[in-house]
Structure 1
Amino acid sequence: MKKRYIVFTLIALVVAFLFYNKFFGSKAKQTNAAATGGKGKGRGNNGPVAVNILVVKDTAVRNQIDITGSIDANERVNLVSQTAGSITGIYFDEGTRVKKGQLLVKVYNADLQSSLQQVQAQIVLAKDIDNRNKILYQKEAVSKQEYETSQSSLATLRAQADVVKAQIARTEIRAPFSGVIGLRSVSPGGYLSPTTPIATLVNIDPAKLTFSVPERYLPLIGKGSQVQFTIASSRDNFKATVYAVEPELDAASRTITVRAKAPNPNNQLTAGAFAKINLTLDQIPNTIMVPTQSVIPDLKSSKVFVLKNGVAAARDVKTDLRTDTQIQITDGLKPGDSVVVSGLIQIRDKSPLKVLKVIK
């Protein structure tokens, strides 16, 4: 029985030794030190926080807004015929450039051509009669009434010829302006009516850029203003000049529609494309800009931490313009202040700081 107690006692001593060595021995202390990064005298003991700071200075900044818009053709028309009839000829290739006045489609007009020739023959005869009556009237061989009757007949025939010519012109569909013609919906020999679409003609040089601007920016944009924009199909930056502004606001959105023209000599811009517009409203010559992450929003205002005498000092600030990476400070900072831009989660007012990098 005594031997059993001795064995149990020895086992208990061995377990106690192993437990102490694991949690309180020198190796355990080294492991804990490694896990804490060797910061035996870190934040828990009021050690300095390593931070980067920015030295504030006056800088020029552009007041810009990013808005969306759409690309429209300078001119666009759906070609249709003004008269009905069979198509006798199509004189364009789909997707090609055509010139203003170029003949595109012709409708049967042989009957009108015959009518025109008949009227022109009558005009020749009426002109001879009118010349003869003029000479006879001067010699008082015919009455004034007979002479005026011949003049009226000649004028009537000429008017009839003009009517027939106008009817013939309606059978010829010509390009109203220069541009690129799209896919045709008709074929030679088909019947064409005034409701039958032929093709779409588009002029997109220059291209029109249409977008809307919030009401608050209305005084800052007008005819002649420059805008920059990009499109998804190209990496290039494009420029456009405002040439027209809608005279009234949209009642629902409180925005105003603006239209600008952009040169498009290489046809990089396509009608209907989505445009991302960067609109420069004005330029502020002297202001303070700080990184976005350095400004801490508060319930009533915003604040930043500045380095002062080796410790962090909280400073209430007022903000205004924002960019992708910076915020404008209108009050609370002055040139030369050192603003903390990193390690902000660990910082409290009067926390000691250790500067790793100074951004100028």
Structure 2
Amino acid sequence: MRTKAKVSIAVGVAVLVLAAGWLLMTRGPVDGGGAPAEMQRPPPVVEVATARRDRVEVSVQAVGTVEAAERTDITSQVTGKAAEIRFSEGGRVEAGQVLVTLDSGREQAALDVARAEQRDAGRQLNRLQGLEAGVQISPAQIDEAEARMATARARVAEAEVALKERQITAPFAGSVGLRRVSPGALIEPGAVITTLATTGAYKVQFELPSELLMQLKPGLPIEIDAGVERRLVGSVVHIDNIIDPATRSVAVEGGLEASGEWLKPGAFVGVKTVVDSRADAVLIPEEAIVFEGGESYVYVVGSELQVERRSVRIGVRQPGEAEILEGLEPGTRVVVRGVQTVQSGQRVQLAGDEQGGPPPKAQ
């Protein structure tokens, strides 16, 4: 029995020795601290960006309507038949150019008569004024002749105005729209013949929240997105002095210039108004910011490549970047890739630095 017990003990010791050897072979050597080398994982590799100081713009978006800088309906002041149409639809006209002539036979005849009467009155007045000094002429005769002359001049002026009204002209330079009348058509006062609008200069009407009223002022830059891969730059021209009680918004008018025929009055456009700008804003890539439970924070990388979680207050956000109002100073390094793999107090390895560890000290 004793021999069997000795054999069992020997077998047990051998099993323990073999198990211990297997553990040493599979888990590797143990360092001085007693932890297996496999458990000392390499620091996570991250990419960082440096907070920089740059200019940032505070802007607000709106939808606006394009209008010509000047636009008017071309109408007639008098009744008459259209004798001649002198414009082409969509064509450009100059200020004062005749667009339509009305039949003017009677007006021309009336002007001819008025001018004949003026010439006759002038001859009568000249004859009386040229008589010799010995001829008796009463002052009343001279007065009557001068009155006839004045009346004749007034009738000529009146006839000229009546004849001029038979020509419908462009009040300013621009392009005309569709023609609403045909030659020979009877045109009544106020009837629209065509429309005239300036080209090259435009207005943009849009509305902004009344909360921005204190920041709005003429001259603020605006950017127009016409939806055709073209962006135009203009400025605020006028701000209404009345707030719409229904929408609590204020009407704003912007001005801009654009060449070509692609921008048309009545078009809807996007309007970005820059209401404020800061030249010394602190900016970091937006992907460096972690949002969690109503809090925003970043991981700051220190000189020893140790990360620190730091809360930040965000200001203006623009494509790819965010302004940091509190929490960071320019020159601070923050993790932008690998944010989800690090923890505060942990050391990291920078992408491209195969050795990791702290940067070498300056000699």
Cα distance change of structure 1 residues 55 and 223 upon mapping to structure 2, 3 Å threshold: closer
Deviation at 1:342? 3.1
Q: Which runs of 5+ in 1 are unaligned?
A: 1-40
Does residue 207 in structure 1 map to residue 187 in structure 2? Answer: no
Distance, in Å, in 2 between the alignment partners of 1:352 and 1:70 is 56
Shift in Å, 1:311:
5.3
SS at match of 1:246: strand
List aligned pairs for 1:75-114, cutoff 5 A.
Answer: 75-114=70-109
Candidates 180, 187, 198, aligned match of 1:192:
187
Q: Deviations over 1:250-283 (max 9, x none)?
A: 4444444443432334344322223333444444
Aligned twin of 2:239: 245
Partner of 2:7: none
1:238 partner amino acid? L
Are 1:181 and 1:202, in contact at CA under 8 Å, matched by a contact in 2? Answer: yes
Matched residue type, 2:79? A
In 2: Cα distance, 1:272 partner to 1:171 partner: 32
Q: Pick closer, same or farther for the CA change 1:329–1:137 going to 2, 3 Å.
A: farther
Question: TM-score w.r.t. structure 2 length?
Answer: 0.75
Alignment TM-score, normalising by the size of structure 1: 0.75
Aligned match of 1:55 in 43, 50, 53? 50
State the secondary structure of the residue aligned to 1:196.
coil
Q: Is the 8 A contact 1:204 1:270 kept in 2?
A: no
The alpha-carbon deviation at position 101 of structure 1 amounts to 1.1
> For 1:93, what is the secondary structure of its paired residue?
coil
Structure 1 window deviating more from structure 2 (114-123 vs 62-71): it is 62-71
What's the counterpart of residue 155 of structure 2?
Answer: 160
- 1:322 is aligned to 2:317: yes
Q: Which amino acid aligns with 1:83?
A: V
Instruction: Return the match for 2:279 from 274, 280, 285.
Output: 285
* C-alpha contact (below 8 Å) 2:232/2:258 kept by paired residues: no
**Rounded Cα–Cα distance in structure 2 between residues aligned with 1:318 and 1:242:** 31
Question: How far off its partner does 1:334 sit?
Answer: 2.3
Structure 2: runs of 5 or more not aligned: 1-37, 354-363
State how far apart, in whole Å, the 2-side matches of 1:94 and 1:350 are. Answer: 75
Count the aligned residue pairs: 315
Following superposition, the deviation at residue 343 of structure 1 comes to: 3.8
Please report how far the alpha carbon of residue 108 of structure 1 lies from its aligned counterpart in structure 2 after TM superposition.
1.2
SS of the equivalent of 1:341 reads strand
Q: Is the 8 A contact 1:207 1:269 kept in 2?
A: no
Identity of aligned pairs, percent? 25
2:164 aligns with 169
User: Is contact 1:56–1:336 with CA below 8 Å preserved after alignment?
Assistant: yes
* SS class of match (1:266): coil
Write the letter of the residue equivalent to 1:289: L
State the alpha-carbon separation in 1 of the partners of residues 89 and 124 from structure 2. Answer: 52
Give the Cα–Cα distance (whole angstroms) in 1 for the partners of residues 288 and 134 of structure 2: 107
